[in-house]
Chain A
Amino acid sequence: MKSTESAVSGDAAAKTYVAPGKYDELYNFVSGGFNGQVSVYGLPSGRLLKLIPVFSVHPENGYGFNEETKPMLQTSYGFVPWDDQHHLALSQTNGEHDGRWLFANANNTPRVGRIDLKTFKTAEIIELPNSGGNHSSPFITENTEYVIAGTRFAIPVGNQESPLDNASFKKNFKSTASFISVDKNTGHMSVSFQIILPGMDLDLSRAGKGPSHGWFFFSTYNTEQASTLLEVNASQKDKDFIVAVNWKKAEEYIKAGKGKKMPVEYYHNVYDEETHSATSRIIKEVLTLDPEELKDMVYLIPCPKSPHGCDVDPSGEFIVGSGKLAALIPVFSYQKLIKAIDDKAFEGEYNGIPVVKYEAALHGEVQKPGLGPLHTEFDGKGNAYTSFFVSSEIVKWSVKDLKVLDRVPTYYSIGHLMVPGGDTKKPYGKYVVAYNKITKDRYLPTGPELAQSAQLYSIDGDKMQLLLDFPTIGEPHYAQAIPAEKIREQSVKFFDINKNKHPYVSLGEKATKVVREGNVVHVYMTAIRSHLTPDNIEGIQVGDEVYFHVTNLEQDWDIPHGFAIKHAPNAELLIMPGETNTLKFVPVKPGIYPFYCTDFCSALHQEMQGYLRVSPKGSNVPLKWGTGEEEAAAPVAAR
């Protein structure tokens, strides 16, 4: 029996202690699972620094509630204010994290988000057409040429209605691998092309790097092509596949005009930092490539058994498949794969795609590593670290000679693991972090649902050493970590008010006003310590659509202002210095509605408040507003 306490040795606390006022070494971006957010922790302390809403509405700061960010969550299926966020990828230059952007996938309504690491805000969300669950995403090429989005569920292309049986599945259902190109300067994403693959479930993926740059590798399950009881039916074959995609070849085919344009409809939502607003664009076309017609673009490598992780080592030469039901870890060699392709060492075809002989592509197998291998990350010294879900452990092994070097228990049931930079050419390689699914006994119980958890291990020495447990928000899947100095200095402190191009900005208190257009009322409001202008508004009627456009006039770090109005059914605003945010409020009853600042801003924060007078519909109370002196008010006759 492993004891819950025994694993921590004497100096572990000292290795994770970050004294008050000191900074952590690394930023750790952790996926939020079904909460649709990304959480940011400091390592090695495990302190929570921030929650970034990406695919979920977030009442704390009005994301998805305010008028400016509502378009971010628009999809071709309407407003989808939640998602299941699994994986994260930091942008790379020359195969190293560069600290510009963080990409996040939405597993449920297929989307990819981009977070700007200067502001820690979601800057862009793109929807994916022809995708049935975006799981093998958002993995990234070594110069951020492409972010990948592979479908988890095979669905009929175009999502036509179709009978649900195995015959129909084989005939109609397809998988797609979307290649999202990323603009070097702006980070703007666009779906460059999609490769239409046979119906199967793409699970995870990794870009090649170094010698294998130009290739992408996907793991896949349900190559049995079953539509029901996959637990049994997708576990029949001894081997599934690693799908190897030559995307440079795909680019050549596109140049040669071999792509087919397909009518689709998907949303592209972009947040503009100068208008502080997002806009949605509907895109109606996508370029597709069919590997059955376009040969030498896609190959399949047999991989035992229902592979989950599919990880490329820092040299770019080795591809580690993790058959989650297999009792060994197969490691493939890129050179051998290329040779096998050149030699046509194929064992057959699968839906028209060549299947390379297993042994021809195999570098070797790690024997008896543990039970249920899931994911592998690498240090910079030629070692691999694989998580084992069933046997709850991390196993360290040597990539070159495939020998198991060390193992440590994780408490309990590890999913992903992460070595800072472990997916790049140059891993930081000092720690490995386990992201656990089940955490019985680790923390005080909190009812049936227990805290989610991560665990930090040192990998400095020959032996891995548990340093720290820390609870996480949401169900952590994958994570990324980057040395603090690559992000810290570029962090935006406030927005320059002179660059605020919001259509309803108030540049100074003198610019504040209330404008009625029919039953729509625009309140141009400012917030500064410690008052709102105007703070008395009269002449609003029941049923009016009142838009509070609040500009935070502060130009100082860490002075956001909040804005909330009594009985607002949606949310509040949290406005950064120099920013404008808009809250829509439709009063349903006459009366006096207090409004106030929600974010403690100064010694007089509590005094930062005001009143909205709402009169019955058709009332003749004139529109009137002001702050302070009576004569500052500007009466305007009500319509």
Chain B
Amino acid sequence: MNNKLSKFARISVFIAIGCIAALWFVPMWRIDLAAPQYPEGIFMQIWINDVKGDVDVINGLNHYIGMKTIHKEDFREFVYLPIVLAAFCIFGLVVLIKGRRRAYYIWTGALLAIATLSMYDFWKWEYDYGHNLDPTAPIKVPGMAYQPPFIGYKKMLNFEALSQPDIGGWLFITAAILLTSVSIYEWRRAKKQLHENPFGQSPASRRHDKRMQQGV
């Protein structure tokens, strides 16, 4: 059976690596907050290794309700994620060299696994920040938690919060969709090949045939 990746799949490897490598230069996620007293809005950006934007302002606000303050140093994710993503990119190069479907499938699976784990981690992080409040906080609203929306819009007291992927997030999504689509495409192509040529030539048998023809 022909196990080789199509040209299309090979190009997709470059695109996916490009999308993921771009995460070192663009933010992945952003949370926007708006309130009447902040007409200009405040926001926070999550990078693979940093939190940026009005983090100090948000920390200042959070202290009234007893939320933990956000510090880059508190996130081990900011150490792991760059390593994991760098490994993913290197793995991509291996896939390219090997040029095998199976490697490509595993690679796609790895990206989906990273995505799923990251999202779960992000949700857990939001849950933790929103629920683990300082019992000595100056302002306590009975029954109120301050978990930001995982994705989309949520109103929390006087603040309107919007959580959504930033450029990097969209690039990640692009990479994930691309790899998944190409995997499906490759899967179908493989099935089709199998169907058309159930005893299909493996490269080894092709070499064998060639030798036979040449009378070696």
Q: Can you name the residue of chain B whose Cβ is closest to the Cβ of A554?
A: B60
CA distance A557 to B39 in the complex (A): 11
**Residues of A with C-beta under 8 A to B56:** 555-556
Are B64 and A603 in touch, CB under 8 angstroms?
A: yes
Are B60 and A556 in touch, CB under 8 angstroms?
A: yes
Are B57 and A602 in touch, CB under 8 angstroms?
A: no
Q: State how many angstroms separate the Cβ of A168 from the closest Cβ of chain B.
A: 64
Q: State how many angstroms separate the Cβ of A192 from the closest Cβ of chain B.
A: 43
Q: Does A407 contact B (CB under 8 A)?
A: no
CA distance A529 to B63 in the complex (A): 9
Listed from nearest, the 4 A-B pairs whose CB atoms lie closest are A556-B57, A555-B56, A604-B138, A529-B60
Task: Choose one: B54, B60, B138, B139; the contact of A528 (CB below 8 Å).
Answer: B60
Q: State how many angstroms separate the Cβ of A482 from the closest Cβ of chain B.
A: 23
- Which B117-145 residues have a C-beta within 8 angstroms of A? 138-139
- Which B47-76 residues have a C-beta within 8 angstroms of A? 54, 56-57, 60, 63-64
CA distance A150 to B183 in the complex (A): 84
Taking chain A's interface residues, is the majority helix, strand, or loop, or is none over half, making it mixed?
loop
Q: By CB atoms of chain A within 10 A, which of B40, B56, B60, B139 has the most?
A: B60
Q: State how many angstroms separate the Cβ of B63 from the closest Cβ of chain A.
A: 8
Are A604 and B64 in touch, CB under 8 angstroms?
A: yes
Task: Choose one: A530, A555, A603, A604; the contact of B57 (CB below 8 Å).
Answer: A555
Q: Can you name the residue of chain B whose Cβ is closest to the Cβ of A556?
A: B57
Q: Mark B138-171, 1 if CB is under 8 A from A, else 0.
A: 1100000000000000000000000000000000
Q: State how many angstroms separate the Cβ of A262 from the closest Cβ of chain B.
A: 53
**Residues of B with C-beta under 8 A to A554:** 60
CA distance A528 to B60 in the complex (A): 9
Q: State how many angstroms separate the Cβ of A489 from the closest Cβ of chain B.
A: 12
Q: Can you name the residue of chain A whose Cβ is closest to the Cβ of B63?
A: A529
CA distance A482 to B64 in the complex (A): 41
19 A-B contact pairs sorted by A residue (CB < 8 Å): A528-B60, A529-B60, A529-B63, A530-B138, A554-B60, A555-B56, A555-B57, A556-B54, A556-B56, A556-B57, A556-B60, A557-B40, A602-B64, A603-B64, A603-B138, A603-B139, A604-B64, A604-B138, A607-B138
CA distance A603 to B57 in the complex (A): 15
Q: State how many angstroms separate the Cβ of A20 from the closest Cβ of chain B.
A: 12
- Which B68-98 residues have a C-beta within 8 angstroms of A? none
**Residues of A with C-beta under 8 A to B139:** 603
Q: State how many angstroms separate the Cβ of A555 from the closest Cβ of chain B.
A: 5
Q: State how many angstroms separate the Cβ of B56 from the closest Cβ of chain A.
A: 5
**Residues of A with C-beta under 8 A to B64:** 602-604
Q: Can you name the residue of chain B whose Cβ is closest to the Cβ of A558?
A: B37
CA distance A603 to B157 in the complex (A): 14
**Residues of A with C-beta under 8 A to B54:** 556
Q: State how many angstroms separate the Cβ of A526 from the closest Cβ of chain B.
A: 13
Q: Can you name the residue of chain A whose Cβ is closest to the Cβ of B60?
A: A529
Q: State how many angstroms separate the Cβ of B157 from the closest Cβ of chain A.
A: 12
Q: Can you name the residue of chain A whose Cβ is closest to the Cβ of B37?
A: A558
CA distance A529 to B64 in the complex (A): 9
CA distance A602 to B54 in the complex (A): 18
Q: State how many angstroms separate the Cβ of A19 from the closest Cβ of chain B.
A: 15
**Residues of B with C-beta under 8 A to A530:** 138
**Residues of B with C-beta under 8 A to A557:** 40
Q: Can you name the residue of chain B whose Cβ is closest to the Cβ of A21?
A: B39
**Residues of B with C-beta under 8 A to A602:** 64
**Residues of B with C-beta under 8 A to A604:** 64, 138
- Which A526-541 residues have a C-beta within 8 angstroms of B? 528-530
**Residues of B with C-beta under 8 A to A607:** 138
CA distance A555 to B64 in the complex (A): 17
**Residues of A with C-beta under 8 A to B60:** 528-529, 554, 556
**Residues of B with C-beta under 8 A to A529:** 60, 63
Q: 16 new A-B pairs (CB below 8 Å) besides A529-B60, A603-B138, A603-B139?
A: A528-B60, A529-B63, A530-B138, A554-B60, A555-B56, A555-B57, A556-B54, A556-B56, A556-B57, A556-B60, A557-B40, A602-B64, A603-B64, A604-B64, A604-B138, A607-B138
Q: State how many angstroms separate the Cβ of B65 from the closest Cβ of chain A.
A: 10
Q: Mark A602-639, 1 if CB is under 8 A from B, else 0.
A: 11100100000000000000000000000000000000
Q: Can you name the residue of chain A whose Cβ is closest to the Cβ of B54?
A: A556
CA distance A402 to B60 in the complex (A): 64
Q: State how many angstroms separate the Cβ of B106 from the closest Cβ of chain A.
A: 46
**Residues of B with C-beta under 8 A to A556:** 54, 56-57, 60
- Which A544-581 residues have a C-beta within 8 angstroms of B? 554-557
Q: State how many angstroms separate the Cβ of B160 from the closest Cβ of chain A.
A: 17
CA distance A555 to B57 in the complex (A): 7
- Which A579-608 residues have a C-beta within 8 angstroms of B? 602-604, 607
CA distance A386 to B54 in the complex (A): 51
Q: Can you name the residue of chain B whose Cβ is closest to the Cβ of A493?
A: B40
CA distance A607 to B139 in the complex (A): 13
Q: Can you name the residue of chain A whose Cβ is closest to the Cβ of B42?
A: A556
Q: Can you name the residue of chain A whose Cβ is closest to the Cβ of B139?
A: A603
Q: State how many angstroms separate the Cβ of A426 from the closest Cβ of chain B.
A: 32
**Residues of A with C-beta under 8 A to B63:** 529
**Residues of A with C-beta under 8 A to B57:** 555-556
Q: Can you name the residue of chain B whose Cβ is closest to the Cβ of A497?
A: B56
Q: State how many angstroms separate the Cβ of B201 from the closest Cβ of chain A.
A: 68
Q: State how many angstroms separate the Cβ of B210 from the closest Cβ of chain A.
A: 71
CA distance A602 to B63 in the complex (A): 12
Q: State how many angstroms separate the Cβ of A412 from the closest Cβ of chain B.
A: 41
Q: Can you name the residue of chain B whose Cβ is closest to the Cβ of A559?
A: B60
Q: Can you name the residue of chain B whose Cβ is closest to the Cβ of A528?
A: B60
CA distance A602 to B64 in the complex (A): 10
CA distance A395 to B138 in the complex (A): 63
- Which A207-246 residues have a C-beta within 8 angstroms of B? none
Q: Can you name the residue of chain A whose Cβ is closest to the Cβ of B138?
A: A604
**Residues of B with C-beta under 8 A to A528:** 60
CA distance A528 to B54 in the complex (A): 16
CA distance A554 to B61 in the complex (A): 11
Q: State how many angstroms separate the Cβ of A627 from the closest Cβ of chain B.
A: 14
CA distance A530 to B139 in the complex (A): 12
Q: Can you name the residue of chain B whose Cβ is closest to the Cβ of A607?
A: B138
